[in-house]
Amino acid sequence: MSDIFENISYKADEPLKKHTTMRVGGNAKYIFSPKNADEIKDIIDYCKDNEERYIIIGNGSNIIFSDEGYDGIVIKLNSLMNDYTVENDLIIAKAGCILSKLAAAARENSLTGMEFAAGIPGTLGGAVVMNAGAYGGEMKDIIEYADVLMEDGSVKRFSNSEMKFAYRESIINADEIVLSACIRLKKGNKEDIEALMNELKEKRTSKQPLEYPSSGSTFKRPEGYYAAKLIEDAGLKGYRVGGAMVSTKHSGFVINYDNASSADVVRLIDDVKKVVFEKFGVMLEPEVKIIR
Ligand SMILES: Cc1cc2nc3c(=O)[nH]c(=O)nc-3n(C[C@H](O)[C@H](O)[C@H](O)COP(=O)(O)OP(=O)(O)OC[C@H]3O[C@@H](n4cnc5c(N)ncnc54)[C@H](O)[C@@H]3O)c2cc1C
């Protein structure tokens, strides 16, 4: 059996706030950065043999951990798993690729369809699992297939329809790991692609509180409503719990305004849910994954 502590890059007692864009959370017992599927399997085998819990993360842009940290192994798919190739109108990429890098590759190759994703600060793996989307586009529109490490150690290729993409959801559950995916785009005009990316970037910077740590839109869009509008109409714009705050720039964002703890963020989320439900009868559901 391979010794994961000898062969795979890892850190012990590592602050999770360094690995999540909300910049909160205690320490992970270990955080591993595997280079390939075999290393991921070795880590999971170790976890099973030693009864350690484990979790996969990408760029940590839609996940927060508690202040107590994570008493187990965090498997981070990042820059050690970020190769990609462009073949005609397809981009085939490892799960750890950051979306902005893939969007830039699409632009350089005059491929259109991925402009919406250029400003989403996640990895391809995280975006596929979450069916990330923005400005009328979502991963569902561009994923041809995804290769997934199953719980039994096999690798299964899921076609787009097999992924069962829905609003911020896919069929992939917590025991399955997206290893890579194929993105299908269309031939386009490089200047037009660049212009659209710049326009969307401008929209993001003017509307979103990108100057503060956050996990993006904290709540899913409830059917028939906009979370940000409900929160604002409930009078919660600028509402604070400790160092966490409902952004005054965009009420759909909970931001780490001033050294927030994870507990501050979670309490703020709970308060917002409660007040919005009391005022409007709508139960907001967090989009951000809260790991306890
Ligand atoms: C400023 C800001 C703006 C944002 N804007 C948008 C937006 O416009 N649209 C949008 O949809 N989202 C947005 N987000 C949220 C976030 O970027 C996306 O949800 C993104 O897809 C998460 O990717 P990640 O790699 O960071 O995943 P993580 O946050 O690391 O993980 C998210 C979930 O996916 C799982 N996961 C991650 N990688 C894998 C994998 N390879 N295999 C299996 N499971 C995996 C994790 O276990 C976790 O449950 C924004 C976030 C921020 C901070």
Task: Report the residue among 18, 102, 130 best suited for mutation to probe ligand 1: largest number of ligand atoms under 8 A from its CB.
Answer: 130
Give the tens place of pLDDT for each residue, 10-41.
999 999 999 999 999 999 999 999 999 999 99
Domains of the chain in sequence order: 4-78 (3.30.43.10), 82-193 (3.30.465.10), 208-291 (3.90.78.10)
Q: Choose the catalytic residue: 61, 180, 215, 217.
A: 217
User: At 59, is the pLDDT very low, low, confident or very high (cuts 50, 70, 90)?
Assistant: very high
Closest approach atom of ligand 1 to CA 116: 8
Concerning whether 217 is annotated as a catalytic residue, the answer is yes
- What is the pLDDT, as a whole number, of residue 236? 98
Concerning whether 292 is annotated as a catalytic residue, the answer is no
First to last CA, the chain: 31
- What is the pLDDT, as a whole number, of residue 153? 92
Concerning whether 287 is annotated as a catalytic residue, the answer is yes
Q: What's 221's DSSP letter?
A: P
Residue with tokens 């699992």: 129
Which residue owns the Cα nearest ligand 1 atom 41? 125
Closest CA to 247 of 275, 284, 220, 210: 210
